């Protein structure tokens, strides 16, 4: 059956949107894997399925390219918000994800903000396999951890170019401390309002960027006393802004842009 889709990116973090409002949801883990293959499918970091919702403009379900579900995706949430705000002629919209109700707003310069909700900071909520202070984990390198609906582990390094992310990432993603596995960040603090970030994404490899990883990295940097409340995050694919006052939701702001639209065949 043909499945219409739109492909977008946020500073190189690419995703596809499948709008199934008023229709059934055909996406399974197998279909997500098939569509996510960059050689035999469409190729993406995440897939966002847009569904009907009683208490928001739409509900979004997310899939990784390897067919695993995830609760949060800052890039695809902003992409869906961008499209639906155009559709209804508004500069703000509320969407529901597994993180709850998320408010999205249009910003100058073709940018979109999303309040990603409060981070989870307790060890059991990340989750970790044992109780410890999530600001400084008792494993090699003493990273910090939090959850933005998906787990994040952040290493602060002096020279990010010296880190072999493809080699280090899988080992840390599957470390025994993380029973649900984890996203892994490597952060070089340039100043209190500017960081460089490279990512190993749980279930996705090395992306050019990731909205939720930007949020997790900044939250962990603020908790370590290294960063101010508003931070420019320089990823391989471009720069985003993250704001967190240490108490409320984490606000992610950046550009989103369409790439193509078409139909994929699912069977």
Domains and CATH numbers, the chain: 2-106+256-265 (3.10.310.10), 144-249 (3.10.310.10)
Say yes or no to pLDDT of 266 above 90.
no
Q: pTM for the full model? A: 0.94
Mean pLDDT in residue range 159-175: 95
Contact (Cβ atoms closer than 8 angstroms) between residue 216 and residue 154: yes
Mean pLDDT value of segment 21-37? 95
Question: What is the band of 1 on the pLDDT scale with cuts at 50, 70, 90?
Answer: confident
pLDDT band with cut points at 50, 70 and 90 for residue 265: confident
Stretch 89-102: mean pLDDT, rounded? 96
d(CA 125, CA 143): 17
For 176-189, what is the mean pLDDT? 97
Beta strands in 41-123 (DSSP E): 46-51, 58-64, 69-70, 92-97, 100-107, 111-115
Q: How far apart are CA 110 and CA 11, in angstroms?
A: 12
Q: Which residues contact 251 (CB under 8 A, 6 or more apart)?
A: 113, 114, 115, 116, 242, 243, 244
């Amino acid at each position: 059956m043909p499945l219409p889709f739109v492909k977008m990116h946020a500073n190189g973090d690419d995703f596809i949107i499948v709008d199934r409002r008023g229709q059934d949801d055909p996406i399974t883990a197998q279909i997500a894997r098939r569509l996510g293959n960059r050689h035999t499918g469409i190729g993406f970091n995440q897939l966002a399925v847009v569904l009907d919702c009683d208490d928001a403009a739409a509900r979004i379900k997310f899939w990784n390219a390897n067919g695993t579900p995830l609760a949060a995706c800052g890039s695809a949430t902003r992409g869906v918000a961008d499209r639906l705000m155009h559709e209804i002629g508004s500069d703000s919209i509320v969407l529901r994800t597994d993180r709850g109700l998320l408010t999205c707003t249009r910003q100058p310069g073709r940018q979109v903000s999303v309040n990603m909700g409060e981070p989870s900071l307790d060890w059991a909520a990340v989750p970790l396999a044992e109780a410890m202070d999530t600001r400084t984990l008792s494993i090699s390198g003493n990273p910090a951890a939090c959850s933005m609906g998906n787990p994040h582990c952040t290493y602060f390094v002096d020279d990010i170019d010296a880190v072999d992310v493809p080699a280090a990432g899988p080992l840390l993603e599957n470390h025994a401390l993380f029973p649900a596995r984890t996203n892994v960040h490597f952060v070089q603090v340039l100043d209190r309002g500017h960081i460089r970030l490279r990512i190993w994404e749980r279930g996705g490899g090395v992306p050019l960027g990731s909205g939720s990883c930007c949020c997790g990295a900044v939250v962990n940097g603020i908790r370590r006393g290294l960063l101010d409340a508003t931070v420019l995050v320089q990823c391989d694919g471009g720069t985003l802004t993250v704001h967190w006052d240490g108490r409320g939701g984490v606000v992610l702001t950046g550009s989103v842009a369409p790439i193509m639209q078409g139909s994929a065949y699912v069977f």
